[in-house]
Chains A and B, each alone.
Chain A
């Protein structure tokens, strides 16, 4: 649940979601659920030459299980908060 809460705090920010099939989509994080399914708005494909047909898509839903990485905005990373949260999670709290 740690990452779920964490990503919820990033709603409204610009992220890049990299899928396991190498497709990378940049967009505004619209919502995320407990399975880390991700909805993006104002999307654009990072490698447009490889995936030209995705160009037009404005918003999309990405299945959590196919996400490899989520690149976060640096200002969205609160290290102190993450430290605390991961410690709590490790304690099983």
Chain B
């Protein structure tokens, strides 16, 4: 799953990865989208999920659109000053895999209908009803918080332990009816999904593991002496 804006096509509603906990947070009809310095594309529907922002054009039958993960959204803000942008919008900055090389001019490559979106570093979402901007802003904040960086510097070998323990928690939750049953989540399977709860859980589990190890050593020392 790369960074940046992706072009997508789908028949109807966007397909969510519900098995891994992706949920729809908000659907906002009547939203235009402007990528980078391109003119706005109208009109579409905005789907905000716990993981990504999806915009689908209302024009096509096979709905064309764009998706960007919250992991790629560096910054978002409400822009209302007409000097900055003529229409009030939710302004976002996008983190991409591409380098800072702005000079490579490939902006007119639409001829073969393959768009290069890797250099798109800004995205504006323009709702036809500007009064929605503040609540959209808040939802973006909430969702950003649900998508922390995937555990960056963690010792890779421990993932099996973490995930199996994690999984037990999930199973417990399933029994209590909080999380829909998911047959694909077998013990020890790393699915790369690091949501807020999991990250916190991992930290706690790490701590316990270290504590236990020390205690065992202490005990051994105690029996020897």
Contacts and interface: CB of A to CB of B under 8 A. Distances in A.
Interface of A: 19, 21, 23, 33, 35, 37, 39, 43, 52-66
Q: Which of A19, A21, A56 has the most CB of B within 10 A?
A: A56
Given A35-B145, A37-B145, A52-B84, A60 B95 contact: no
Contacts of B93: 21, 23
A23 B95 CA distance: 13
B74 A55 contact: no
Given A53-B122, A62-B74, 18 more contacts: A19-B74, A21-B100, A33-B145, A35-B145, A52-B84, A54-B77, A56-B84, A58-B77, A58-B78, A59-B78, A61-B75, A61-B76, A61-B141, A61-B144, A62-B75, A64-B149, A65-B148, A66-B75
B83 A66 contact: no
Contacts of B149: 35, 64-65
A25 to B, nearest CB: 8
B108 to A, nearest CB: 22
B144 A37 contact: yes
Interface residues of B, number: 25
B154 interface: no
Contacts of B81: 55-57
Q: Which of A37, A52, A61 has the most CB of B within 10 A?
A: A61
Interface string B90-110: 010101000010000000000
Contacts of B77: 43, 54, 57-61
Contacts of B137: 61
A57 B79 contact: yes
Nearest to A36: B148
A60 to B, nearest CB: 3
A55 B84 CA distance: 7
B74 A21 contact: yes
A66 B74 contact: yes
A54 B83 CA distance: 10
Interface in B68-92: 73-81, 83-85, 91
A58 B91 CA distance: 12
